[in-house]
């Protein structure tokens, strides 16, 4: 093996260990969050979801800019964490407080522009989570930097438990959209307390001008890029609320949330480890970075492509089974938004590579291009075709604009893009074939949502797996499943945990 291959393999093992924790944690938390959403969907009205969507759109933008990119700057930092932590902690807390203070005064105008001035108080309440995030930013980043995703997962899980308890209790007592906001705020507080306790980064504040300069040069373009990305993803809620009304926005939010399941579970888990992993690879050389991307991007598409296809094909029985007939208008929107997930996950992985390589301005340019194309398209298609038109605009711009821009940016940081594109043809064609099978089976089964999902989904996966996964990889997976590790003798190196703790 070459030196680059050795480095890539070692960092891959560390990142893989962290990824197992985050995927397991995200999956468990998604199940819990999904169960909570089922309960709230039956306790609250679509209009309550619409108000929450307005508040969520504002918070999603603010959460990306409140720390001015200092979380990623901490993960990517070249040097000792102890040297920069006091300065970064102070900057993150101050920036978060200032941004929240400014938004407090802007909230009424934002809510009115989104079509519901009554959402102002909910917007202000939910946005408080950015202050907590700013205070804990460096500690969360320290856990990601050292691949201690197990501790971060435990902290987020604790917040989810509190979120469910608070939200459901308030919904039962008629709190409406405030149920979401108070639940999220309580969750952020609990998660923040746990992160501060387990990160073991000394709680010191200070200001070093040269360190602050390095952090700002890295973080400001990144924060601007992530802020623009958040606008591109969340402007849809303001536009739909303005043009179609809060009830239609409630249907749109539910479809968007379902379409984002894979992004929430896999995408979030990947980001927890990918920035740190690609940063370590870029420290070695461009060849190691390119090899890491060429290994990870095809694997991402291999996993996500069938999820996206089946979500789209089986959207109607999925919504009917999980949420009931009154949420039926969300199904046609889900059929289209499902494809946005694939575009987002590919572009997000590309952004993680750019962050790891220190090319934060490139991520800004990608997201500026996204927003410039999306905003006029979104306004026009929503006016013409309501919430379905909004879904068309999001997915189309994701594939036709964002992915090409990401490919150009990766090429400029030394990643060989052409081999990646060639490896994606097989899983994408296989997913199309599996989707056709799912469609035929679901129609043959008849109007029985559970049977449609079970039989059509199973048939599609049986078709997709042998078509998409190379035979050598299938044999490797099978041998690992059959292999039974021998128990280690006490005192031998094999008896120690894999992570050394």
CB 16 within 8 A of CB 272: no
Global model pTM greater than 0.85: no
pLDDT at 163: 85
The secondary structure of residue 80, as a DSSP letter, is: -
Distance CA 415, CA 353 (A): 9
Distance CA 55, CA 272 (A): 25
Residues 6+ apart with CB under 8 A from 313: 335, 435, 438, 439, 442, 456, 460
pLDDT at 462: 93
Distance CA 8, CA 285 (A): 10
The Cβ-side half-sphere exposure at 442, using a 13 Å CA radius, reads 24
CB 6 within 8 A of CB 280: no
Distance CA 20, CA 43 (A): 35
Ranges of the chain with pLDDT below 50: 3, 5-7, 485-501
pLDDT at 498: 34
Distance CA 92, CA 486 (A): 48
CB 383 within 8 A of CB 389: yes
Taking CA atoms, 153 is separated from 27, 67, 92, 339, in Å, by: 11, 21, 22, 28
pLDDT at 438: 94
pLDDT at 16: 52
Distance CA 391, CA 387 (A): 6
pLDDT at 496: 35
Could you tell me the two tokens for 390? 């909004």
The Cβ-side half-sphere exposure at 122, using a 13 Å CA radius, reads 25
């Amino acid at each position: 093996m070459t030196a680059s291959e050795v480095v890539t393999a070692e960092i891959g093992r560390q990142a893989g260990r962290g990824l197992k924790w985050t995927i397991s944690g995200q999956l468990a938390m998604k199940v819990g969050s999904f169960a909570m959403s089922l309960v709230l969907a039956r306790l609250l009205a679509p209009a309550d979801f619409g108000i929450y969507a307005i508040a969520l759109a504002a918070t999603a933008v603010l959460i990306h800019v409140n720390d001015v990119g200092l979380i990623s700057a901490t993960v990517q930092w070249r040097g000792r964490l102890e040297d920069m932590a006091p300065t970064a902690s102070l900057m993150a807390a101050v920036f978060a407080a200032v941004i929240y203070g400014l938004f407090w005064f802007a909230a009424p105008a934002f809510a009115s522009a989104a079509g519901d001035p009554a959402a102002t108080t909910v917007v202000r309440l939910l946005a408080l989570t950015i202050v907590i995030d700013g205070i804990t930013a460096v500690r969360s980043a320290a856990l990601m930097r050292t691949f201690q995703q197990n501790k971060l997962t435990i902290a987020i899980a604790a917040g989810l438990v509190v979120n469910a308890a608070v939200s459901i209790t308030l919904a039962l007592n008629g709190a409406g959209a405030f149920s979401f906001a108070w639940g999220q705020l309580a969750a952020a507080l609990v998660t923040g307390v746990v992160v501060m306790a387990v990160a073991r980064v000394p709680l010191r504040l200070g200001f070093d001008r040269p360190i602050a300069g390095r952090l700002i040069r890295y973080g400001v373009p990144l924060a601007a890029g992530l802020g623009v990305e958040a606008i591109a993803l969340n402007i849809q809620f303001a536009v739909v609320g303005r043009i179609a009304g809060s009830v239609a926005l409630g249907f749109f939010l539910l479809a968007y949330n379902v379409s984002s399941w894979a992004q929430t579970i896999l995408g979030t888990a990947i980001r927890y480890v990918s920035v740190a992993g690609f940063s370590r690879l870029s420290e070695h050389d461009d060849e190691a970075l390119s090899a890491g991307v060429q290994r990870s991007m095809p694997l991402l598409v291999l996993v996500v492509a069938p999820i996206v296809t089946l979500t789209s094909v089986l959207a109607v029985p999925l919504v009917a089974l999980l949420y009931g007939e009154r949420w039926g208008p969300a199904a046609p929107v889900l059929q289209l938004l499902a494809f946005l997930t694939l575009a987002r996950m590919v572009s997000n992985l590309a952004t993680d590579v750019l962050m790891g390589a220190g090319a934060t301005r490139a991520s800004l340019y990608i997201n500026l291009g996204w927003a410039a194309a999306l905003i006029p398209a979104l306004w026009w298609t929503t006016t013409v075709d309501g919430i379905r038109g909004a879904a068309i605009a999001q997915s189309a711009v994701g594939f036709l604009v964002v992915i090409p821009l990401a490919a150009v940016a990766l090429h400029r940081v030394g990643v060989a893009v052409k081999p990646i594109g060639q490896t994606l043809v097989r899983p994408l064609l296989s997913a199309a074939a599996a989707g056709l099978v799912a469609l035929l089976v679901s129609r043959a089964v008849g109007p029985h949502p559970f049977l449609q999902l079970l039989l059509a989904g199973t048939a599609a996966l049986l078709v997709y797996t042998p078509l998409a996964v190379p035979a050598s990889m299938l044999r490797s997976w099978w041998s690992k499943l059959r292999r039974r590790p021998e128990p280690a003798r006490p005192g031998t190196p094999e008896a120690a945990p894999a992570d050394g703790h």
